[in-house]
Chains A and B, each alone.
Chain A
Amino acid sequence: MNHLLIAPVVLPAIVAPFIIMVLRHHLSLQRIFSLASTVALLAISLVLAVQATDGTVQVYELGNWPAPFGIVLVLDRLSALMLLLTSGLALTVVLYSIGSGWDARGRHFHALLQFQLMGILGAFLTGDAFNLFVFFEVLLIASYGLMIHGGGTKRLQAGVQYVVYNLLGSTLFLFALGTIYSVTGTLNMADLAVRVAELSPDDTALLRVGAIMLLLVFAIKAAVLPLHFWLPASYANAPLPVAALFAIMTKVGAYGILRMYTLVFGPEVAATEGLVGDWLLPAAMITLAVGAIGVLGSREIGRLVAFGAIASMGTLLIAVALFTPESTAAALYYTVHSTLAAALLFLVADLVMERRGGDIIAQRPMAQTGLIASLFFVGAIAMAGMPPLSGFVGKLLVMDAARGHDLVWWIWTVILVGSLVTIIGLARAGSEIFWKSHDASHIDDPEPELAGNDERAELEQGVAPTPALPFIACFALLAGLVLLTIFAGPMMDYTEATAAQLFDPNLYIDAVLKRVEP
């Protein structure tokens, strides 16, 4: 067994308690350890990604218990891609929070961040449905702490809503798992796939209920309409660097859908045939539409980016819902793109918030307005999906993958009109914030109020920020987007291979259950 496979879970699980128990009064040491752990995670993910490129499915049996009796961790191309994306994103978020002093505005930021990483990476690696639930809870409980980091009335109120909504989601997850277990008698994903395929189609009413409840759980995580209500308020009121990290959390939901509904409830399974795509596709289109309208209607920059993230989840889930190898490859490409783009815009929004407050109205110009405006411009281009950045390539791939589908004209219309509305919304926000502020009539206005006293108090609490580090983090994300555009060809080769692997679940099942080739 390759013990490197469990390192992405074990490393943050050791570093986080160490930070809490030993380094709780040493902020600079916390920063060093958190940064070192994140860099190490990135290195581990790189090694694992290289190992996964040859198409083998690696299995790690915890405690050496063979599947399906023990819990397994499974590394295939999809897991490796998501690991790499998560640890890369985490590194920029850690750099940004150190540079902007956000980590000093409350306690235990770095420990919570490491626990969050443990949960996310574990969720991507696990091969057991109940273990997936446990890792979801790990990442959620850490995210509750991060979400209210720094305190403040509005943030706490939004935090209550976020926690309640996600607790409901967790309960639904348990109901779904219980239902599936009562029908199949197993929770190992590979074993589930075997058992579900063996069920006779007349005897699957309960299983279908379980499958739909599970879909609802992942839809809550992925913020699919009409289950998206938690997202705008939580992301806009969370510390924005944390919101940038949360950009990967919606992708955990999309990952869950991709994993469970290709492996267990796959397209060929008679019991649940056509059950998911038919429901998910319209929901995803409405999600995109509402996200775009939300971008247009936002009066506050955090909400603007949050709705942009919802819109990009809509595009992503349209591609997922088609459930063909081509569309899945496009969805994976778009996943990487939309995570980086949303994170970049959240970080830029934080730069704006720190300097002038988040309201989208003309105020006096802020410091470094040219640099921030350019970053916002580039991030907006990426998020709206305009050339030359990878959003354009991604949307083109999604639309191309939809070509053979019955609803192709609907899909194209929604994606194109959605992009147009998003562009208008982002352009309006950008010109209000960055251009109209230079209008002479505003210069004489009194000092603008920051959004509330909470924020001002936060600013004063923070230690002197390192001015360059936040920009380095933003440019790192931007570099990721540019690389994703330049190397779109090799990247597509990888995602197509990933999709091929997903749509041939026997590879996965054979590896986990150690079935010998007949």
Chain B
Amino acid sequence: MEILFASAVGILTAAGIYLILRKRTFPVILGLSLLTYGVNLFLFATGRLMVNAPPVLNKYAEVPYTDPLPQALVLTAIVISFGMTAVVVMIALGAYLSAKDDHIDMVEDTKRAGDDA
């Protein structure tokens, strides 16, 4: 399970970083989303991976329990990254509609002729 989990975090992060380095806003925003998924999983794993263990202490019996704090952190991180993604989509839409161009950099219009990679 550890290998599966670790490679999932790694692949999400790598894909996210690759997409962030693209030229247009849409892939960049997708990349940011993937990166936040990666970090959410990573945060979840910082309390160690446990299966079938509740995040509460049981004072009557010795049962395994999992660390509840990372779960709270992940919840916070999910809410924040969700909100931030909405904000960046709105701002990028605004920029796209007013500039008629969704490149992420701010090169002068004249320089962009013929460059459509």
Using a CB–CB cutoff of 8 Å, the interface residues on chain A facing chain B are: 130, 134, 137, 141, 144, 148, 151-154, 156-161, 163-164, 167-168, 170-171, 174-175, 177-179, 181-182, 185, 187, 233
Contact = CB atoms under 8 A, between A and B. Distances in A.
Interface residues of B, number: 35
A157 B87 contact: no
Contacts of B84: 137, 141, 163, 167, 170
Nearest to A155: B95
B88 A157 contact: no
Given A156-B95, A171-B36, A174-B43, A163 B87 contact: yes
A170 B92 CA distance: 19
Contact of A159 (B73, B80, B91): B91
Interface in B65-117: 67, 69-70, 73, 76-77, 80-81, 83-84, 87-88, 91-92, 94-95, 98-99, 104-106
Contacts of B94: 148, 151, 156, 159
A182 B46 contact: yes
Contacts of A148: 91, 94
B64 to A, nearest CB: 17
A160 B39 contact: no
B80 A160 contact: no
Contacts of A134: 76, 80
Interface in B1-54: 20, 25, 28-29, 32, 35-36, 39, 42-43, 45-48
Interface residues of B, dominant DSSP: helix
B42 A144 contact: no
A204 to B, nearest CB: 16
Contacts of B73: 130, 177-178, 181
Contacts of B76: 130, 134
Closest 6 CB pairs of A and B: A156-B95, A182-B46, A178-B46, A153-B98, A174-B39, A178-B43
Contacts of A164: 20, 28-29, 32, 88, 104
Contacts of A157: 95, 99, 106
A171 B13 CA distance: 10
Nearest to A165: B20
Given A154-B106, A160-B91, A170-B84, A175 B42 contact: yes
Contacts of A175: 39, 42
24 contacts: A130-B73, A134-B80, A137-B84, A144-B91, A148-B91, A151-B94, A152-B98, A153-B98, A154-B106, A159-B95, A160-B95, A161-B104, A164-B29, A164-B32, A167-B84, A168-B32, A170-B80, A171-B39, A174-B43, A174-B77, A182-B45, A182-B46, A187-B69, A233-B106
A260 to B, nearest CB: 18
Contacts of A154: 106
B104 to A, nearest CB: 6
Q: Which of B81, B91, B92, B105 has the most CB of A within 10 A?
A: B91
A130 B67 CA distance: 16
Contacts of B43: 174, 177-178
Contact of B87 (A144, A177, A179): A144
Given A154-B106, A156-B95, 16 more contacts: A130-B76, A148-B94, A151-B98, A159-B94, A160-B25, A160-B91, A160-B92, A163-B91, A164-B32, A174-B77, A178-B42, A179-B46, A181-B47, A182-B47, A182-B48, A233-B106
Contacts of A167: 32, 36, 81, 84, 88
A134 B73 CA distance: 10
Contacts of A161: 104-106
A371 B20 CA distance: 46
A233 B104 CA distance: 13
A159 B45 CA distance: 33
A141 B87 contact: yes
Contact of B39 (A144, A158, A178, A185): A178
Contacts of A160: 25, 88, 91-92, 95, 104
Contacts of A233: 106
B111 to A, nearest CB: 14
A156 B47 CA distance: 40
Nearest to B42: A178
A171 B35 contact: yes
Contacts of B42: 174-175, 178
Contacts of B25: 160
A188 to B, nearest CB: 11
A483 B106 CA distance: 41
Nearest to B94: A156
A340 B101 CA distance: 38
Contacts of B29: 164
A158 B69 CA distance: 37
B80 A137 contact: yes
A487 B92 CA distance: 47
A164 B67 CA distance: 32
A164 B48 CA distance: 30
Nearest to A138: B80
Contacts of A159: 91, 94-95
